[in-house]
Structure 1
């Protein structure tokens, strides 16, 4: 049995501003990075290698951990910066950083486990959508 829906009862679905879409995409991308790294800890031997001083980019050092920390903090900051910066710089930041992160992820994919390939594919897709939305940023009349 279907219940008829009156036209006046339909839900409004106003368009979202580009900035809000970009911010939400960066939040999604950040979660994918975090969960991908978290699930990576379950790979056999991963924790043992960490205890032995192996870091994400070679031997663990203050410099290597600072580099990785800065690499991972940028997408999280883009959640805010996409909403707060003026349109022109935020547009170019979105394009440049999304291309950089998608390329970085693609470089790390060969030989990875399936879960990582799945996360990486989604991350690259999210980056492509960020570039597409920022490239098509609405213009004033």
Structure 2
């Protein structure tokens, strides 16, 4: 009679390219960004205000809608750009766009200070800031290749 012997082997840990990490982080940021807005519809009075043409203190106009679309399109495009841009342009774009998104994300919580849904907004903003910090870290620490010496494929010491 044979007994099966369990051989536990470690899973292979494959290196994820920086471009893929950045695209995944932007996709996560985008979903969180959108779902924060969707879940905010459940806050009492929000839908009533939308039906009369007001979001927060802003009148719903074509200009407001275009602005909202542009702001939402930024992380959407960063998903694709993180995979498509060459490394140097990619790094710069991620550093610049994520840096601009940080104060914008924080601004969303300021309007809710002391509000009834303050914890919801603070948690959402904290999660957004965490993802933006990951993006900044991935872009800032993008691996560099060793400079070539001109003597074949040997890098400089």
TM-score, shorter chain, exceeding 0.5: yes
The answer for unaligned runs of 5 or more in structure 2 is: 147-157
Give, in angstroms, the shift of residue 80 of structure 1.
Answer: 0.9
Structure 2 match to 1:78 = 78
Equivalent residue in structure 1 for 2:121, among 108, 116, 125? 116
1:1-141 residue pairs with structure 2 within 5 A? Answer: 4-6=6-8, 9-55=9-55, 58-110=58-110, 111=113, 113=117, 114-141=119-146
Q: Structure 2: how far apart are the matches of 1:5 and 1:100?
A: 50
Q: Structure 2: how far apart are the matches of 1:38 and 1:103?
A: 21
Give, in angstroms, the shift of residue 11 of structure 1.
Answer: 1.5
Deviating 4+ runs (over 6 angstroms): none
Q: Structure 2: how far apart are the matches of 1:98 and 1:42?
A: 28
Give, in angstroms, the shift of residue 124 of structure 1.
Answer: 0.6
Give, in angstroms, the shift of residue 64 of structure 1.
Answer: 1.0
Give, in angstroms, the shift of residue 10 of structure 1.
Answer: 2.3
Q: TM-score, normalised by structure 1?
A: 0.91
Higher RCO (CA-CA < 8 Å; seq separation 6+): 1
Compute the RMSD of aligned alpha carbons: 1.5
Q: Tell me the alpha carbon deviations over residues 66-115 of structure 1, each in whole angstroms, 9 at most, x when there is no partner.
A: 01101001101111110001111111111111111111011221226211
Q: TM-score, normalised by structure 2?
A: 0.82
Which structure has the highest helix share of the two?
1
The answer to whether the Cα contact below 8 Å between 2:26 and 2:75 also exists between their aligned partners in 1 is: yes
CA distance 1:63–1:135, change in 2 (3 Å): same
